Amino acid sequence: MAKLDVNLSGLKLDNPIIPASGTFGFGYEFSDYYDINILGSISIKGTTKDPRYGNPLPRIAECSSGMLNSVGLQNPGVEKVVSEELPKLRKCFSKKVLANVSGFSLEDYVYTCEIMDKQDEVGILEVNISCPNVKHGGMSFGTSPESAAEITRAVKSVTKKPVYMKLSPNVTDIASIAKACEEAGADGISMINTLMGMRINLKDRKPILANKAGGFSGSAILPVALAMVYKVYEAVNIPIIGMGGITTAEDVVEMMLAGATAVEVGAANLTEPYACKNIIEELPAVMEKYKIDSLESIIGGAH
């Protein structure tokens, strides 16, 4: 019998499939479609210290092999996520979730992570360091090893649960940033976040997104994600949650061979609500096809 279970820093998942933050809401929205308890876990919608309306419309632009988004971290703020959203999820999901945390200053991250760390529903803190550092000219925290390490140390000082740092691919050397996070105490790495992209309306000759550029995701970015996960796997000794362009069970196996312990599915959920369910159901047949008895046995197998 195929063994689909994996272990993320002591958190055992029945399978490695996790809907990615921002593409699955707070999870309970999808319970109308299927029993979401079949999922390995859920990375809930990115949460910030204060409520955020997000960026102006339009926020979404289509591409032939993916999509652009500039949602801008719309969420009700950590207090309401804890008091309203997590209780709703608890009614239909019995497993631990990944709390995706974003911020615009070091203090934001510390405040939100400290609250999320105390929630019973939370198994792992996924810290998104692709946000602009408002105190340093808007440059992302995740663009330098020093700032990434600073956030990691600060969050680890106020939390007890595993901390996974979510890295941006829009950098020169993602492996050095991952290594800096590990040295600062990170328990794992989550990667990759979206690439930067743009679409232009030919009629008015202006960018389609109100924010001009946005995050590019979808099947087209899979090769980029694989290359970066492969590189980071050789640089660190902590688990990696791989994401970027995952749409099939074969993609999952490929990502795990590159070095991922678990896999997040993002844009696919927006076009096919059953994407994660379908992948989980397809995995045993794919494992049989490629003579894989246990998914844990293939992690990093391409190295």
In 3D space, the residue among 237, 273, 25, 255 whose CA is nearest the CA of residue 264 turns out to be: 255
Strands (E), the chain: 6-8, 11-13, 17-19, 60-63, 66-69, 97-101, 122-128, 163-166, 188-191, 195-197, 200-201, 206-207, 214-217, 240-243, 262-265
Is 181 among the catalytic positions?
Answer: no
Q: Helices 249-258 and 275-289: crossing angle, nearest 10°?
A: 70
Q: Helices 222-233 and 174-183: crossing angle, nearest 10°?
A: 50
Distance CA 249, CA 81 (A): 31
Q: Give the DSSP H or E segment for 274.
A: none
Tokens of 208: 């389609």
Distance CA 155, CA 186 (A): 9
Active-site residue, selected from the candidate residues 63, 92, 113, 131: 131
Point out the residues that are catalytic: 131
